[in-house]
Amino acid sequence: MRYDVAIIGSGFGSLTAAALLAKYGLRVCVLEQAKYPGGCATSYLRKGHWFETGATTLVGLDEHMPLRYLLDQTGVKVPVQVLETPMQVHLPDAQLLTRYGNLEQWIAEAERVFGKYKQREFWEHCYSISQEVWRTSLRQRSFPFSNTKDLLLSGMRVTPGQLKLLPGAFRTMEQVLQKYGLHQNELFTRFVDEQLLITAQNYLPEVNELFGATALCYTLYSNYYVTGGLINLVKPVEQFILAKGATLKYGHEVQEVRTLPEGYRLKTSKEEVESRFVISGIPLNNTAQLFQEEKIKRSLKPYLLGSDRLNGAFTMALVLRAEEANEVLHHQVHLPQPLPQTGSKSIFISFSHPSDRLKAPDGTVVASISTHLHHPQAHLIEDKAALEQAIVQELGRRGLVRPESILSVQSATPGGWIFWTKRAFGAVGGYPQYRKIKPWQMKDARLDHRGAYLCGDTVYPGQGIPGVCLSGIIAANKLLQDHF
């Protein structure tokens, strides 16, 4: 059967694009190499417990945010609970910092821990930037520009607030801290660095103000917990797509894409599929390996990042004996000394909600742990057991995990990510932000200016569920803008 649109991968960007295009009436086929949908924003079942594949936090449902837009457009309902406290951060000096969702509460907490000097001014500035960034992101769905129509449509939608954002693309977060005289506050700069790493995948000198301010403020928007795991964010979108007549083929790894006179032919591990349009929702490094046309390969080359500019992760999935209820589910631990083998200076851990019996049966709690590993291709984890022990010891010292409460442990290196997700180098979190790459220099949703498009965490705007959701919105918008 020939489809209107074939979509490679079923990550959340792909599912977003599929839902919007299927709603428009196009015949959509999603091709996924795994046995279940969602990519890095889903869950998997093992021995009666649901574990997160990658992402563990959820934002984006507030007004002017991508996930809210998707759910409003489709009418999809997701079983979510609002988290009263989004996160706690355990600092290297053993102080506990609570990232409150209310701006005033958060400023008071930041002043308590880091001192009153300029904390209010800094956080009010960042929050103001983040609000305008989110408002702009959905209004400017033709950005980044790659043809004249994009420019014209964006010009018609521009506002004074958007123009005020422009200087932020040229300033780094390091320069913002210098502006407020906070760059010499060592504890604060370390805190900001590690918070940026889990949101923008890089540090103060590299992350520009627009992405950095937005990344730092994600706890100041509504944060949610999905009952039963993120698979229950994905499944309702999958069901909407199927109800609109789309096809989802699991266990169909796309091996190559060839250009036809009037469309594309995709060779999968099981069959060949033809379509008028194609959207690649997998990383750019993987996309470049699939398309056989040299012109497309050359066009992608300037945007590809090697392993030395990417991050992998060492992850652990724990089943714990339920003891005291975890009032705060998400924690980042900043370490006084880097972890062995990875060199990481922080650990992120998320617990299942105490009332969530779908994810963890009675008497147990599931915990997802991750720590960054820069340049994954060059850093092999030779002793997983030693690294597991070091992480559990650190979490034990902070009172987050008691070793005697652990019922089972699974861990994965970047090699495991390559095996399960097929992502090049086992990279996680998308492409990191770099100061030399301005927002308009990120890869646009158009691949060949003919009928091939892109979405996912390595194209604009990048990381996180809201980011990849927005990338799917933009890909669908540009396809419709170009051809309908």
Q: For 263-303, write each residue's pLDDT tens digit.
A: 999 999 999 999 999 999 999 999 999 999 999 999 999 99
Q: Average per-residue pLDDT in the chain?
A: 95
CB 450 within 8 A of CB 301: no
What amino acid occupies position 87? M
Please state, in angstroms and rounded to a whole number, the distance separating the CA atoms of residues 365 and 386: 23
Cβ density class 19-49: b for 16+ within 10 Å, e for less: bbbbbeebbbbbbbbbebbbbbbbbbeeeeb
CA nearest 394: which of 352, 342, 353? 342
Q: How many Cβ atoms are within 10 Å of 75's Cβ, its own excluded?
A: 9
pLDDT of 152 above 80: yes
CA 183 to chain centre: 27
Residue 386 has a pLDDT of 95
Average of pLDDT values for 114-127? 98
CA nearest 363: which of 3, 46, 49? 49
Cβ density class 202-224: b for 16+ within 10 Å, e for less: bbbebbbbbbbbbbbbbbbbbbb
Please state, in angstroms and rounded to a whole number, the distance separating the CA atoms of residues 281 and 468: 9
pLDDT of 215 above 90: yes
pLDDT of 202 above 80: yes
DSSP annotation of 46 reads E
CA nearest 23: which of 412, 484, 448? 484
pLDDT of 15 above 90: yes
What amino acid occupies position 213? A
Residue 323 has a pLDDT of 84
Residue 416 has a pLDDT of 86
Pairing of strands 311-321, 330-334: unpaired
Residues 227-267 have pLDDT tens digits of 999 999 999 999 999 999 999 999 999 999 999 999 999 99
The continuous run of DSSP H or E covering 29 comes out as strand 28-32
pLDDT of 324 above 90: no
Residue with tokens 């019922």: 407
Residues 157-186 have pLDDT tens digits of 999 999 999 999 999 999 999 999 999 999
CATH architecture of 2-48+58-80+226-306+432-483: 3-Layer(bba) Sandwich (3.50)
Q: Count CA within 13 A, CB hemisphere, residue 95.
A: 13
pLDDT of 3 above 80: yes
| Residue 55 or 98, more confident | 98
> What share of the chain in percent tops pLDDT 70?
100
Residue 1 has a pLDDT of 77
Q: Which residues, 6+ apart, have CB-to-CB distance to 427 below 8 Å?
A: 283, 285, 307, 310, 311, 312, 376, 414, 417
Count each helix (H run) and each strand (E run) in the chain, helices first.
Answer: 15, 18
Longest dimension (CA), the chain: 65
Q: Which residues, 6+ apart, have CB-to-CB distance to 109 below 8 Å?
A: 97, 98, 99, 100
pTM: 0.97
